[in-house]
Amino acid sequence: MGRWDDDWHYEGKHKKSRDWIRIARYAIYGGFAIVAIVVLLVFIPRAGLTVEIMESGEALTTISIKINNNNPQEIHNVTVVFDNDTNRKQIYNSMAPFSSIFVTPEKEDLDFQKIIVTADNGRLQTIKYR
């Protein structure tokens, strides 16, 4: 006596075919994930108000300070103070988003040890040591 499923055979596809649409979809998703990771790792740690001190020259020393605004909004009342006896302020009106300005200290301020940059009436502040 036989059972009802004795002669039943499943005939599957013997030839493998790739689903190119699914592969392309996963490649696009992977690309978006890689771009998101790069944005998170590169741009977020650099957000804010940053200061770079650049010194060059042997006989004649040149000092330039680069102030970067890496915020997505404009900042106002940018104040630069070189820490020494005079404590004179250099005031800049505003900085556009993702922009930078170069500041050169006055002759009396060339021996500074610390630079203090404040913006938006003290809301943002950065201190950089030489």
- CATH of residue 118's domain is 2.60.40.10
Report if residue 118 sits inside a domain.
yes
3-state SS, residue 20: helix
Question: How far is residue 6 CA from its own chain's centroid?
Answer: 68
- What is the average pLDDT value for the chain, to the nearest integer? 82
The pTM of the whole model exceeds 0.85: no
Q: What is the pLDDT of residues 82-91, one digit of tens each?
A: 886 667 888 8
Domain identity same for 36 and 55: no
Domain identity same for 88 and 36: no
Are 55 and 66 spatial neighbours (Cβ–Cβ below 8 Å)? no
pLDDT at 78 over 60: yes
Domain encompassing residue 65: 49-129
CA distance 72 to 76: 13
Which structure tokens are listed for 93?
């009106």
Question: What pLDDT does residue 52 have?
Answer: 86
Q: What is the pLDDT of residues 7-60, one digit of tens each?
A: 555 555 555 667 888 999 999 999 999 999 998 888 777 777 888 888 887 767
CA contacts within 13 A on the Cβ side of 108: 8
- Average the pLDDT over 67-79 and give the result: 87
Report if residue 121 sits inside a domain.
yes
CA distance 101 to 77: 13
Give kind and range of the element (H or E) at residue 52: strand 49-56
